[in-house]
Copies of this chain bind each other. A is one copy, B any other.
Amino acid sequence: MIENITIRPSMVSPTTELYIGENFLEEELLRGICLQLQGRVVVVTSEILRDLYGAKLAKKLGAELLIIPSGKNEKTQKHLENELFRMGCGRDTILIALGGGSITDLVGFVASIYLRGVFLILVPTTLLAMVDAAIGGKTSIDTMFGKNQIGTFYYPKAIIADVNVLKTLPEKEWANGLIEVLKMGLVFDKSIWDIAKKSSKSRELISKAVQGKITITERDPTEQGLRRILNFGHTIGHALEQVAEYTISHGEAVAIGSLAEAHLSMQLGYLPRGEFEEIQSLYSSFSLQLPKLYTRRSFFKAVAYDKKKLSDKVRFVLIDKIGHALPFEGAYCRPVIEEELKPTLDWMEKNYGGCSHRALAASRELDCTSL
């Protein structure tokens, strides 16, 4: 069964055709889309994915193949740009990004700035990319100042989500995607949460998560309000990734972040304890641990660089029940001062810290400002 969903971001007229189904990489779907766009097709992927799907796909499409080194930083971006220039690619180029979120983010960014924009088609190969990175028009690269710090809003012509490719997805990669699915359940759609409680690997779950993300991003394409709820778990999550110098996975960081921000929601009086405990219980299947490099000082430094802040105040998305983020008069986030964050950090360190963190948390004075 093929689901075909047309995404219409309200601020831009070009629409994205999203296809969820099976065997797309074998069928004529992609070829038809490329023929319609009438351009020079370049499949951009990693070495591993070239061997798995890329080479075959490029051959089928009569396309060129461009292999990019791993990472989505400025160096990789320049490499990709320069290769396209060397190939003499013009404005009618169709870049097909085949890969996980790093690849779709990076190729999306290059597609948005190369000659001020060429055609883009996303073929996400991980659950995370399917339900999250590929949808919503966000592109980005990382800089020395943090993840996703440079990027654009740019809409692909099509997204091809072939769930067949997920069959070979490593368990850890699956968990990474599931964390974002659960987050969608927490902030927007309780039915996602309820399905996930029963089974974490159903086609329905993927479809619902995708639909949630589309609904949110269509209502607020450039993150002026509602879309901020998708940052739930990410303020703390991103900071943890930075503190860890990216030695923990995005999924793990966001899982701890989601739990901690749920705790913060409870501790600030919004979320009932029962709901928090239900959340904690479902997340207990993940093995979570704060990064070894974690200290409060480095954590606060990292939080301050988070994009979500409006100048000096750190703002958090908060929930008042499973499936509902608080609107805060359309801002969908609330400034939280260090003092308010403290009990949550104590809790986080106690539950997910290593021995040294736990000892520290137990012995710590209650004065945040001494850090």
Contacts and interface: CB of A to CB of B under 8 A. Distances in A.
Contact of A91 (B78, B145, B150, B310): B310
Contacts of A117: 152-153, 222
Interface size class on chain A is 35 or more
A220 to B, nearest CB: 12
Contacts of A310: 90-92
A91 B222 CA distance: 12
Nearest to A306: B90
Interface stretch (A107-115, A258-266, A317-325, A342-350): A107-115
A85 B140 contact: no
A40 interface: yes
A19 interface: no
Contact of A138 (B12, B92, B116): B116
Interface in A25-48: 39-40
B81 A150 contact: yes
A311 interface: yes
A152 B113 contact: yes
Contacts of A222: 116-117
Contacts of A13: 10-11
Nearest to A310: B92
Contacts of A81: 143, 150
Nearest to A74: B78
Interface of A: 10-14, 39-40, 74, 78, 81-82, 85, 88, 90-92, 112-117, 138, 140, 143, 145, 148-153, 222-223, 304-305, 307-311
